[in-house]
């Protein structure tokens, strides 16, 4: 391919510098990949802000940024320049060093995750770590630390309260997020993100079909994890000004902003990898078969970006559809609904796999084609799996409504409306005046 | 007995809750607006987009809107219509108009005469309240408050318009894209 000739040329040039081929393979090329990924992800994040503004404008029957460049396409660059030239203000009596470093922790924790995300096959992934998903969860939850430090070091009550809120929220939703992924991992039988994608490819199915509940849970807890609307309690303007980054300005503030969007992209990328089949798309691998390897990788990359962007769109879409939750409702959803349903989802996934394995070979029913890296099912097995997945939604809802049958008792609104009616004659106030 | 009376939801309500019908309805509404905005082809105020694209498309102001002042000229001779009668300055409740006349020598029926003509016209738009009483007072329809509304300047001195600005109009940046 003429388009990818520079790669080979560069490889030859690197070989001529006297470096060993191993050094080039395991050190120089990864560095190039890292540089590319950091640049491209930063660009993606910048344009995610642009898209956010555009889409929110469209949903409000406006046009959004239109002045800088055609259709306002250069707006992120203008914003970046503006933020770079702004004053980097540090409040009096703030903990200077922590205040300095908190944004870097936020950005780093969001960006490190991209090192294991498989953007595509072959050269489009930096490192195929066999604990990939674990690394994603572990590193992305370091972001909480940045928020706590930022909130604490600002020496401001709003920042402190915002930091507290976001840490409480992120810690509680972290659990549901981790648990919701386990169902999909049971099918993939690996933690490596490339392995999960390969397992979906080998089974020629997206795990969203097997795991509708898991996908929904992951998406909801991902949104809550990123402190995005409708779970953007830490940034509730009416209560907390701007939450943990109240005292930040200029480039440091924009680092937090970047971290938020990068974390969104991370969740979108992980959801794409685990539930939407990663870079797989029907008929794309015909390019591979016809010998256009690099083109195949590039198209797969585009497929991945498009899928992740669709999930990002859902983020924006939900933001402009739903109002913000109350804080007790937020904790309710996290602890009383998401975590139990994630556990039920694990049990149901296990049950589904058990059923499929038990049925295999029984009265000539064939459900499993082969069991090597992932779980490769025949059409019958897929049907059973999908059916259990869909029925599982109902089972989960029924069980949850059973578990939380008293939850409405603690609904403040209903209490205010009804509490004075219990054991009090009608027409009289609950508390007598003057008593 | 439960502490609080809660309304029992019917099966239909439960189903509605389970399938998140209200959420889907809400998302459908936002999606409708989004698609409406995207398919709004001319990208100006109309179907889908309800905002005015101000610097690109200038809004139509109300017909009786009073904006920037202008001194009209005779369309044929391009002489000013102002006769320096000072009526506008007298009519102005804010006292923001200064008419500075000068005398010129003219010959009427073979005899030299002096005539009062307009030398300079100072209009302080920072004090003007756009009541258009000056426009009403003008006997020759010379002073007029136009529909132009872009009066911002970078300094206080810029608000004071002289005769040239009043006759030619002030230059403003016109955005086309």
Provide the percentage of residues in chain A whose pLDDT is more than 90: 1
State whether B50 and B91 are in the same domain.
Answer: no
Within 10 A of B83 (CB to CB), how many other CB atoms are there? 17
Chain A CA closest to residue B39: A58
Q: How many whole angstroms separate alpha carbon B18 and alpha carbon B24?
A: 11
Beta-carbon separation of B6 and A58 below 8 A:
no
State whether B124 and B101 are in the same domain.
Answer: yes
Model confidence at A203: pLDDT above 70: yes
pLDDT tens digits, residue range B51-77?
777 877 778 888 888 888 888 888 888
Model confidence at A424: pLDDT above 70: no
Q: What is the pLDDT of residue A116?
A: 87
Model confidence at A297: pLDDT above 60: yes
State whether B95 and B35 are in the same domain.
Answer: no
Q: What is the mean pLDDT of residues B104-119?
A: 86
Q: Which of A33-37, A214-218, B6-10, B158-162 has the lowest mean pLDDT?
A: B6-10
State whether B107 and B51 are in the same domain.
Answer: no
Q: What is the pLDDT of residue A428?
A: 56
Beta-carbon separation of A61 and B5 below 8 A:
no
Q: How many whole angstroms separate alpha carbon A392 and alpha carbon A399?
A: 10
Residues of A in Cβ contact (< 8 Å) with B4: 409, 414-415, 418-419, 422
Q: What is the pLDDT of residue A1?
A: 43
pLDDT tens digits, residue range A317-333?
988 888 888 777 788 88
Counted domains in chain B: 2
**Cβ of residue B19 closer than 8 Å to a chain A Cβ:** no
Q: Is residue B3 part of a domain?
A: no
Q: Is residue B4 part of a domain?
A: no
Task: Name the band, by pLDDT with cuts 50, 70 and 90, for residue B42.
Answer: low
Q: Which two tokens stand for residue B28?
A: 């459908």
State whether B39 and B117 are in the same domain.
Answer: no
- Which CATH number is B148's domain given? 3.30.70.3270
Q: What is the dihedral of CA A77, A81, A82, A88, to 10 degrees?
A: 130
Q: Which residue of A54, A55, A57, A59 to mutate against B (max B Cβ within 10 Å)?
A: A59
B window 51-70, beta carbon within 8 A of A: 51, 53, 55-56
Find tokens 């640049």 and name the residue.
A39
Q: Is residue B96 part of a domain?
A: yes
**Cβ of residue B2 closer than 8 Å to a chain A Cβ:** yes
Q: What is the pLDDT of residue A374?
A: 64
Q: What is the pLDDT of residue B26?
A: 87
Q: What is the pLDDT of residue B82?
A: 87
Q: Which residue of A56, A321, A400 to mutate against B (max B Cβ within 10 Å)?
A: A321
State whether B49 and B83 are in the same domain.
Answer: no
pLDDT tens digits, residue range B129-141?
988 898 989 998 8
**Phi and psi torsions of B118, nearest 5°:** -75, 130
Q: What is the pLDDT of residue A29?
A: 78
Q: Is residue B38 part of a domain?
A: yes
Model confidence at A100: pLDDT above 70: yes
Q: How many whole angstroms separate alpha carbon A40 and alpha carbon B78?
A: 62
State whether B20 and B81 are in the same domain.
Answer: no
**Cβ of residue B37 closer than 8 Å to a chain A Cβ:** yes
Model confidence at A412: pLDDT above 70: no
Q: Which residue of A58, A220, A414 to mutate against B (max B Cβ within 10 Å)?
A: A58
Domain that holds residue B31: 9-59
Task: Name the band, by pLDDT with cuts 50, 70 and 90, for residue A128.
Answer: confident
Summary mean pLDDT of chain B: 82
Q: What is the pLDDT of residue A372?
A: 66
pLDDT tens digits, residue range A301-312?
888 888 988 998
**Cβ of residue B38 closer than 8 Å to a chain A Cβ:** yes
Q: What is the mean pLDDT of residues B99-105?
A: 88
Query: Which comes out higher in pLDDT, residue A142 or A419?
Result: A142
Model confidence at A432: pLDDT above 70: no
Residues 6 or more apart in contact with residue B75 via CB below 8 angstroms: none
Q: What is the pLDDT of residue A229?
A: 78
ipTM for the assembly: 0.70
State whether B91 and B50 are in the same domain.
Answer: no
Nearest to A252 by CA among A375, A154, A124, A381: A154
Model confidence at B165: pLDDT above 80: yes
**Cβ of residue A409 closer than 8 Å to a chain B Cβ:** yes
State whether B134 and B102 are in the same domain.
Answer: yes
Q: What is the pLDDT of residue A167?
A: 83
Model confidence at A435: pLDDT above 50: no
Q: Is residue B108 part of a domain?
A: yes
Q: Which residue of A52, A54, A61 to mutate against B (max B Cβ within 10 Å)?
A: A61
Q: What is the mean pLDDT of residues A184-210?
A: 83
**Cβ of residue B15 closer than 8 Å to a chain A Cβ:** no
Question: How far is residue A265 from each of residues A46, A262, A309, B50, measured CA to CA in Å?
Answer: 11, 5, 8, 31
pLDDT tens digits, residue range A206-254?
888 888 888 988 998 888 888 887 888 777 777 777 778 888 888 888 8
**Cβ of residue B33 closer than 8 Å to a chain A Cβ:** yes
Chain B CA closest to residue A415: B4
Summary mean pLDDT of chain A: 81
State whether B92 and B140 are in the same domain.
Answer: yes
Q: How many whole angstroms separate alpha carbon A307 and alpha carbon A272?
A: 6
Q: What is the pLDDT of residue A414?
A: 60
Query: Which comes out higher in pLDDT, residue A242 or A137?
Result: A137
Query: Where exactly are the structural domains of chain A?
Result: 86-329
Nearest to A261 by CA among A79, A107, A134: A107
Q: What is the pLDDT of residue B6?
A: 59
Q: What is the mean pLDDT of residues B22-47?
A: 74
Q: DSSP character for B73?
A: B
Beta-carbon separation of A61 and B36 below 8 A:
yes
State whether B73 and B51 are in the same domain.
Answer: no
**Phi and psi torsions of A232, nearest 5°:** -90, 45
Beta-carbon separation of A414 and B50 below 8 A:
no
State whether B47 and B76 are in the same domain.
Answer: no
Model confidence at A97: pLDDT above 70: yes
């Amino acid at each position: 391919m003429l388009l990818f000739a520079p790669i080979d040329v560069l490889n030859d040039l690197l070989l001529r510098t006297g470096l060993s081929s191993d050094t080039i393979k395991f050190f120089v090329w990864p560095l190039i990949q890292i540089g590319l990924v950091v640049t491209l992800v930063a660009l993606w994040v910048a344009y995610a802000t642009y898209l956010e503004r555009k889409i929110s404008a469209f949903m409000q029957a406006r046009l959004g940024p239109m002045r800088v460049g055609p259709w306002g396409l250069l707006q992120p660059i203008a914003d970046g320049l503006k933020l770079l030239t702004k004053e980097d203000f540090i409040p009096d009596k703030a903990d200077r060093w922590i205040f300095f470093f908190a944004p870097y922790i936020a950005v780093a924790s969001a960006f490190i995750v991209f090192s294991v995300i498989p953007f595509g096959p072959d050269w489009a992934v930096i490192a195929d770590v066999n604990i990939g998903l674990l690394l994603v969860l572990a590193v992305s939850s370091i972001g909480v630390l940045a928020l706590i430090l930022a909130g604490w070091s600002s020496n401001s009550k709003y920042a402190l309260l915002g930091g507290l809120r976001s840490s409480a929220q992120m810690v509680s939703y972290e659990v549901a997020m981790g648990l919701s992924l386990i169902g999909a991992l049971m099918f993939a039988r690996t933690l490596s993100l490339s392995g999960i994608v390969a397992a979906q490819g080998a089974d020629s199915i997206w795990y969203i079909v097997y795991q509708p509940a898991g996908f929904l849970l992951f998406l909801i807890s991902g949104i809550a994890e990123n402190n995005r609307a409708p779970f953007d309690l830490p940034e509730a303007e009416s209560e907390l000004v701007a939450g943990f980054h109240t005292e930040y300005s200029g480039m440091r503030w924009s680092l937090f902003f970047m971290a938020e969007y990068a974390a969104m992209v991370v969740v979108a990328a992980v959801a794409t990898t685990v539930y939407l089949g990663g870079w797989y798309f029907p008929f794309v691998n015909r390019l591979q078969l016809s010998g256009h390897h690099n083109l195949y990788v590039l198209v797969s990359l585009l497929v991945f970006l498009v899928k992740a962007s669709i999930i990002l769109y859902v983020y924006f879409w939900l933001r402009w559809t739903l109002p913000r939750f109350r804080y007790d409702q937020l904790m309710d959803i996290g602890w009383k609904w998401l975590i139990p349903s994630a556990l039920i989802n694990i049990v149901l996934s296990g049950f589904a796999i058990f059923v499929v394995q038990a049925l295999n070979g029984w009265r000539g029913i064939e459900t499993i084609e082969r069991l090597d890296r992932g779980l490769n099912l025949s059409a019958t097995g897929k049907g059973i799996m999908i059916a259990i997945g869909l029925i599982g939604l109902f089972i989960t809802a029924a069980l949850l409504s059973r578990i939380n049958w008293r939850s409405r008792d603690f609904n403040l609104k209903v209490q205010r409306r009804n509490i004075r009616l219990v054991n009090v004659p009608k027409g009289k106030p609950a508390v007598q005046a003057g008593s | 007995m439960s502490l609080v009376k809660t309304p029992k939801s019917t099966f239909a309500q439960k189903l509605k809750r389970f399938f998140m019908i209200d959420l889907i309805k809400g998302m459908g509404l936002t999606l409708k607006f989004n698609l409406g905005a995207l398919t709004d082809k001319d990208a100006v105020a109309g179907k889908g987009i309800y905002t005015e694209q101000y610097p690109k498309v200038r809004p139509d102001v109300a017909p009786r809107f009073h904006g920037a002042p202008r001194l009209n000229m005779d369309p044929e001779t391009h002489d000013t219509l102002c006769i320096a009668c000072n009526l506008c300055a007298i009519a102005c409740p804010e006292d923001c108009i200064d008419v500075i006349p000068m005398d010129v020598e003219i010959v009427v029926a073979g005899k030299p005469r002096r005539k009062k003509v307009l030398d300079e016209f100072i209009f302080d738009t920072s004090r003007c309240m756009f009541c258009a009483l000056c426009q009403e007072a003008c006997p020759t329809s010379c002073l007029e408050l136009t529909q132009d509304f872009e009066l911002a300047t970078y300094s206080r001195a810029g608000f004071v318009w002289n005769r040239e600005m009043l006759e030619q109009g002030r230059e403003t940046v016109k955005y086309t894209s």
